[in-house]
Amino acid sequence: MSRERTYGVEAVILKRSDLGEADRLLTLYSASHGKLRVVAKGIRKTKSRKSGHLELFMRSNILLARGRNLDIVTQAEIIEAFLPIRADLERTAHAYYIAELIDQFAEESLENRLVFDLLLTALRRLGDSGDLWLTARFYELRLLGAFGYQPQLHYCVQGDEAIEPVDNYFDAARGGVLCPRHGAGESGARPLSLNALKTLRYLQTRDYDECARLALSAPTRAEVETVLLRTITHLLERRLKSAEFVRALRRPELVEGRRE
């Protein structure tokens, strides 16, 4: 039985690149089909009706026609533009980071509604967040969990014993915390302070509004970010360019936050 020639998706545009003289290659993340790579023909022409509905990070209803190699956009209608992100370079940079994170972890045409919902809420939060560092860390942890890589923060990944409220170790390759007995001397393990452990657990288990009330020192923020970045880099086997750009742009007050 043949598939329908056209189908519709609700999707966010994660990435785009020029193709030929007038076309554009788009990477979408959709509610029903997961990540898709599609072609928008003629979108770079000045008279294109689709261009304003297929900008980066827009949420749109998109009609696709099945193609031999890549499906083709035939219609598009914007649902949500996330305008506050576009008005601020730092917010835009964080949106690039969240989009790249999803693009790198997601397999094509594999539905994951949780990831789609997290993407939408992350873009909304980035538009009004007063603490972009915390917003990014919250969604890093949530996305890791949604893709099946939730760090183990409560039990030693070597001995399986409960982690005690002391300074421990974190091993990105093993995916979690090592107790002092198993972490000391391990080449891949890095020291993990009690404050950083508590923060990671809080971000992993509490809702966003509760996490937004956290008062964190600059050293704790730096340590938490390093742990998550090391984990993501290990899993993807590469560094994300957008993560480096975000760190270069960051204002000092967003790093320092409030003292514990």
Q: What is the mean pLDDT of residues 32-45?
A: 95
Domains 6-81 and 84-256 share a fold: no
**Rounded to whole angstroms, how far apart are CA atoms 39 and 27?**
9
Q: Which CATH class is domain 6-81?
A: mainly beta
Q: In what order do the strands lie in the sheet with 189-192?
A: 176-178, 168-171, 189-192
pLDDT one-digit tens code per residue, 85-106: 999 999 999 999 999 999 999 9
Contacts of residue 22, Cβ cutoff 8 Å, sequence gap at least 6: 41, 42, 43, 44, 45
End-to-end CA distance of the chain: 62
pLDDT of 124 strictly over 80: yes
pLDDT for res 1? 37
pLDDT of 258 strictly over 70: no
pLDDT one-digit tens code per residue, 16-33: 999 999 999 999 999 999
Residues forming a β-bridge with 24: 18, 40
pLDDT one-digit tens code per residue, 154-168: 999 999 999 999 999
Q: pLDDT band at 3, cuts 50/70/90?
A: low
Structural domain boundaries in the chain: 6-81, 84-256
pLDDT for res 48? 79
pTM of the predicted structure, to 2 decimals: 0.91
* 163-167 long-range contacts, CB within 8 A, separation 24+: 163/197, 165/194, 166/194, 167/191, 167/192, 167/193, 167/194
- Cβ atoms of residues 39 and 72 within 8 Å: yes
**For residue 199, which of 174, 178, 180, 218 has the smallest C-alpha distance?**
218
Please state, for a pLDDT cut of 90, what percent of the chain lies above it: 88
- Cβ atoms of residues 136 and 254 within 8 Å: no
**Higher local confidence (pLDDT), 48 or 194:** 194
Tokens standing for 232?
A: 């993501």
**Rounded to whole angstroms, how far apart are CA atoms 125 and 115?**
15
pLDDT of 188 strictly over 80: yes
pLDDT one-digit tens code per residue, 171-183: 999 999 999 999 9
- The 3-state secondary structure of the chain reads CCCCCEEEEEEEEEEEEEECCCEEEEEEEECCCEEEEEEECCCCCCCCCCHHHCCCCCEEEEEEECCCCCEEEEEEEEEECCHHHHCCHHHHHHHHHHHHHHHHHCCECCCCHHHHHHHHHHHHHHHHCCCHHHHHHHHHHHHHHHCCCCCECCECCCCCCECCCCCEEEECCCCEEECHHHHCCCCCEEEECHHHHHHHHHHHHCCHHHHCCCCCCHHHHHHHHHHHHHHHHHHHCCCCHHHHHHHHHCCHHHHHCCCC
Give the orientation angle of helix 89-105 with respect to helix 132-146, to 10 degrees: 10
Please state, for a pLDDT cut of 70, what percent of the chain lies above it: 95
Q: Which CATH class is domain 84-256?
A: mainly alpha
Q: What is the mean pLDDT of residues 72-97?
A: 96
pLDDT of 138 strictly over 90: yes
CA angle 153, 236, 108 (to 5 degrees): 110
pLDDT for res 47? 78
